[in-house]
Structures are given as C-alpha cells and as structure tokens.
Structure 1
Amino acid sequence: MKRLLTALLIFACAGTLLFAKGSSDSGAGGTKKVTIQIEGSAVPYYTPIFTAIDRGYFAEEGLEVEYLFGNAADIAKNVSVGNVEFGFPNGEPIITAKSQGIPVMVVHSTLQHGLGSTIFLKDSGIRTPADLKGKKIAVTSFGSSNYVQLQVLLEKNGMSLKDVTVEIVGTEAIVPALVNKRVDAICFSMLRTFELQYQGIDVAEFRSDEFLPSFGNVLVTGKDYLEKNRETVQKFVRALNKSMEFIAASKDNTREAVTATIKNHTPTYAGREDYMTDIISEVYAGYLWTSDDTKKNGFGYGNVTRWQETADIMKQFEIITSTVSAQDMVVPDVLK
C-alpha cells in the first residue's frame, strides 16, 4: 500500500495495534507530518481524504498526511493518547468511547447521515414499516448498530421485536439472503441498496436516518491534541472541505477524483470507476455529506442536538451505560 506510515512503527500485540510516536515530525519542505487512521480498509468511499492528498490541498495547508487503517475502538484510543493525530471512524463508536471516558473529540461531522437502512425487494409486499409485521428480517449480529436501528424502527411504528422474526446472517451472506428470498428484509448499509439497484434488482428501503439520527464517518482527534494544536486541526479541516467541494462541484470532478483514488490508493477497484463515480456523486455528495446544517454552515458542521439524540437513544437501548454529553464531544465548527 502506497503512503505507508514511515515514522510510525506498528506492532501486533494480543490483537491490538500499538504505535511508536513520532508522526508529527517535520516533513519535506518544512511541512508538518500528521497521520490519520481510517476505519476499515482501502476503499474509494474515502475519496475526500485521498483527493486532498493527491490534489495538494493538505500540502497547501503545510501538512504532509499519511494514513493507515484500523477499527473504530483502536482509532478512539489512538487519537486520545496521541499515537495518531486524526481518526476517521463511524460516529456511534465514538459515542461509545466517550461513554467509557476516552477523551476523543469530533471536529468534522463529515457524513451528516448514517448508512443504516432496512432493505427489501419491492415484490415482497412491503410498502410501509407497518408491513414488516410477521416478516423475517436479517441483521449481522445482536450487537450491531443495525440491530438497534431495527428496534427503533419497529418502536416508532407501534411494534417490537416480538412482531418480527430476527435472523442472524453474516456480513458476506446477508445481501444474498435477501436476493434469494431467504429473508424478507435486511438491516444493513444503504450502499447495498444502491448496489442492488445498479445491478437491476428492484429494491426499496427505509433509511434509518429518517427515524434515528446517526452519523457515518467523522473526523476525530484527541482532546489534548485539539487544545494544543487547534491551528493544525483547522488546516486539516480546511483541506478536507476543499476536497469535498471539488468532488461535489460536478460529475466530471467526481470522476477525476475517483479515478485518481483508485489508481493511487485503492487499486483493487480498478475497472469499477463508473460505478464508484455514481455512488460517490449520488449517495455521498448528493446525500451523506449534505444536510440543512451544511447548507447553512458548510461541510462537516456538527449539530450537537442531533448528536445528543443519537447518544440518548444508544443509552436507551443499552449500547452505552452512562450518559454522554454531546456538547463535551462535538465541535460544531472548528474553523470558527
């Protein structure tokens, strides 16, 4: 993988990533080296970060950005102790980390909406959430955020888990289970709705964000780092915003950014440039990055009230056991 971290040594120890500090050293030409740990693996959905690197937006801010990947729990811990300067996890695990006393701060609510969705075939007879009664619905695990989303969807429509049959299906098998009609619906990622429709499969969905405020990937840093390096955080956010603005400006820009991302950072997606251009343009730039808040305040605005709603629902459904104050975790606009 290109741009592997050179000043950060990674060791495997009991399944946990350990890091040697030193990623804030000066880079080429006097730039400041910072590292971002991204949740998951190298996929084009992180095009805004890759584009900010490729088009020199970070360099314009005096930053040399290197990236690596990990899971959300490790990301929260690593930014909190300064092993990495930035993280890009999903929002809900950060609320969980905060509930455990980990001093992590959200400085850019990049995805204004969650990715969760209840997906079903149009010929299933499901038209409204009430039609889920008596249906077999798959989730990947009882501990998944999608399982909570199912509970809230049912509750908001006068039902409970007793009114449906819940089946656990693994990540790789859950979409085929829907297509093959082994289950009536799945609670999973809305990206699969787009993918299935792209393949010509007639599906519809109930987006979780319509009844449960949530967030996909967000930019985080440690509380101590933010207090001591606010200017660096602002530089990172400005570059990220500039990248998102470029990508969202036109379909041609999206294609240019996606093509470069696949070539330079995610080569396993070679040959899927058209599909990824459509999904970044329509799903990400057209929906996930935008909201009434971003229309007023720009990309990445953190609505503390919506974050608080998410935290309160997570406590209600016992995903977390202590109350989290979103005001102590979310910076609405770090550039101000």
Structure 2
Amino acid sequence: MKKVWLFVILTLLLTACSTDQSKESKKKAELEKIQFVLDWTPNTNHTGLYVAQEKGFFDEEGLDVEIMLPGEAGADQLVAAGKAQFGISAQESLTAARTQDIPIISIGAILQHNTSGFASLKKNSIESPKDYEGKTYGGWGAPVEQAIISSLMEKEHADANRVEYINMGNSDFFTAVERDIDFAWIYYAWTGVEAELRGIDLNMQYLKDFSDQLDYYTPVITTNEKMISDNPDTVHAFMRAVAKGYEFAIDNPDEAASILSKAAPDLDEELVKASQQWISPKYKDDASRWGEQKLSTWKGYAEWMTKNNLLDDEFIPEDAFTNEFLPK
C-alpha cells in the first residue's frame, strides 16, 4: 500500500511540475520577442539591461529580450536595418550616421556626462594637452581622434603636428602604454577603474573638462524610425523596463554588479564590482530622471563636428533624439 501511495504522490508531483513548465513555456511564447544589440562586450555601461532581464522587468512589460553582441556589422547598422529593434550607440557615431541617412534615433542617455578622456601613466608627466607635444597616441584610426586632440591642444597654444599617431586597434591599454604609446583614449569607468585595482597611477584629461561641446552622451540607447512609427507601445514598454533596471543599479550597485557578473561570467568580478560603484551615481547624475537628453548637448557636439569638418551633410539635432519614451 505504501508503494502505491508513493507512486501516486510522485505522479502528482511530476504532473504539477510538467503543468508549471507548460504554463511557463506558454507565457514565454506570448511575450513579444525583442533583440537588443550591444556596442561592445558586456560591461557596466550595460548593467541596467541585465538587471531588467534578471529581475523580470522585461517580462512584466510583455517582452522577451535577447541581448546580443554586435559582431562585425555593428550595432548601428543592425538597428537601422531592423535586424535588432534596439541597440547601444554613442552621440558621436549617431550624429555622423544621421547625416548619411541612417535612420536611428537615440531614445535614452545611459550616462549624463562624458566619462571618457585621454589617459597616460602618471610617471610620464602628461598633465595637460600641451604635454601631448612630442608624444605618441594610440588609437583606432578614426578622424575624430586627431580632431579632438588638435582642438584640445590648440586651446593651450600647443603644436598638434608634434603628436605621433599609432593605430593600436583592440590592443590592451596597459600593455601598449608600457611599451608602444604615451597616451590613449579610455572610458574611466572600466579601464581607469582597472588601473586603480592594479595599483597603476594614471593622469586623465576628461574631454568634458575642456569643452562643453565635448560633454556629449556616450553611450545612448537607440531604435530606428520605423520602430517608433509602427510600434510606439513596444518602445514605451521597453524603456519603462530599462529605466527600472538602471534605477535599480543606481540604488543597489553591489547587487547590480552581481547580476552583471552572473550574466557575463568571463568578466573579472572584482573589476565589475568596483566599476559599478564608480559608475552607478553617474547614470542619472544631475538630470531630473534617468535617460534624459538635452537639445543643447546634441546641438553643441554637432557644431563642434561641423567646425572640424567631420560631418558629410546637414545634421538636424531635433530629429536625432527623443525623450518621449522615458517614463514620466
């Protein structure tokens, strides 16, 4: 008799489990499938997305979001072509893309201020752009790099022609700066924080400290014009979930870091935690809400790009971004 009852109980448990799994599969199938493409490998710029995924914020909005790596095509191209509904870009690349009729729009600023700048080992005594004279810069060969370095040096009446440029691609910053170059363009939230953990002292010249026009939004969340016109409710739902994710990361940096580490286990957990502590207050910073963008910021950087002959055609800043889909 005991064996009979044990068999009955096990059968009921298995049936219940199967039913739950069936309900879960059905629920998942009913969610709208969304593809989101990153700009790079996962890092703390992206934490709010992984929080929204882990905490079920996307599910609550009826979305099943797949977070993808960009591959060779790049996030802007994938979003513009509709092969991903949303992605990550930066104001500098989106501005150039818009002048080439690439129909992507920024729908939220991940960071309120530009946290990038030129970094060098402290022992090299590069304390201002004037000290770039006679030094070697390692970058990725984009025209904007020379333009920014030249504009910063001109402000200090330094000779920009005395900088040597090396295309170092994806080479490791720490290896390159010890062996091949004197300074490079980094995002402090990742490479700068890693230097702190390694006990390496850096000198930094943040772009925003030298020009308001260079305090642009990097990175931003994008979608394409067709998505906005055809599926505005989906865009609203997506941004509600993403905003909750970043707000959670602002208030709970340690837990948010753990969520990112779980989603991307190849990352150095100590670096993720330290970077998250550094960057979390900067997501919203002095804005009234996370994601907010200002027309003056879009205008200012476009004016700088135009002055430095970096735009191929007319740029209309009002068409490049919107705050419409941010939660009120």
TM-score range, shorter chain: 0.7 to 0.9
Match of 1:157 in 2: 156
Match of 1:9 in 2: none
Post-superposition shift, 1:157? 2.4
Match of 1:13 in 2: none
The answer as to 2:283 corresponding to 1:281 is no
Structure with bigger helix share is 2
210, 222, 225: which is aligned to 2:224? 222
Match of 2:254 in 1: 255
Q: How does 1:1-336 map to 2 (within 5 A)?
A: 28=28, 30-70=30-70, 74-132=74-132, 134-143=133-142, 145-180=144-179, 182-190=180-188, 191-210=190-209, 211=211, 212-249=214-251, 253-263=252-262, 265-269=263-267, 272-282=268-278, 284-287=279-282, 289-292=283-286, 294=287, 296=288, 298-335=289-326
Q: Which is further off, 169-178 or 103-112?
A: 169-178
Deviations 1:130-180 (A, max 9, x none): 333x33131323316443332222133233422433344343154323235
Separation in 2, partners of 1:325, 1:73: 25
The answer to whether the Cα contact below 8 Å between 2:135 and 2:162 also exists between their aligned partners in 1 is no
Q: 1:161 to 1:142 in 2, by over 3 A?
A: farther
Separation in 2, partners of 1:221, 1:185: 34
- Which letter does structure 2 place at the counterpart of 1:319? L
Post-superposition shift, 1:328? 0.8
- Which letter does structure 2 place at the counterpart of 1:247? A
Post-superposition shift, 1:27? 6.5
The answer to whether the Cα contact below 8 Å between 2:39 and 2:74 also exists between their aligned partners in 1 is no
The answer to whether the Cα contact below 8 Å between 1:241 and 1:299 also exists between their aligned partners in 2 is yes
- Which letter does structure 1 place at the counterpart of 2:38? I
Separation in 2, partners of 1:176, 1:156: 30
Asked which structure has the greater CA Rg, the reply is 2
Identity value in percent: 22
Separation in 1, partners of 2:41, 2:206: 24
Flag structure 2 segments of 5+ consecutive residues without an equivalent: 1-25
Match of 1:16 in 2: none
Higher RCO, Cα 8 Å, sep 6+: 2
Q: Which is further off, 208-217 or 237-246?
A: 208-217
Post-superposition shift, 1:245? 1.1
Match of 2:5 in 1: none
TM-score, with structure 1 as normaliser:
0.80
Runs (4 or more) in structure 1 with deviation over 4 Å come to none
TM-score, with structure 2 as normaliser:
0.82
- Which letter does structure 2 place at the counterpart of 1:229? N
Separation in 1, partners of 2:315, 2:80: 17
Instruction: Please provide the CA RMSD for this pair.
Output: 2.4
Post-superposition shift, 1:99? 0.9
Separation in 2, partners of 1:55, 1:303: 30
Separation in 1, partners of 2:296, 2:124: 36
- Which letter does structure 2 place at the counterpart of 1:112? Q
Flag structure 1 segments of 5+ consecutive residues without an equivalent: 1-25
Q: 1:168 to 1:222 in 2, by over 3 A?
A: closer
The answer to whether the Cα contact below 8 Å between 1:120 and 1:126 also exists between their aligned partners in 2 is yes
The answer to whether the Cα contact below 8 Å between 1:116 and 1:149 also exists between their aligned partners in 2 is no
What SS does the aligned partner of 1:70 have? coil
Q: Which is further off, 29-38 or 202-211?
A: 29-38
- Which letter does structure 2 place at the counterpart of 1:188? I
What SS does the aligned partner of 2:69 have? strand
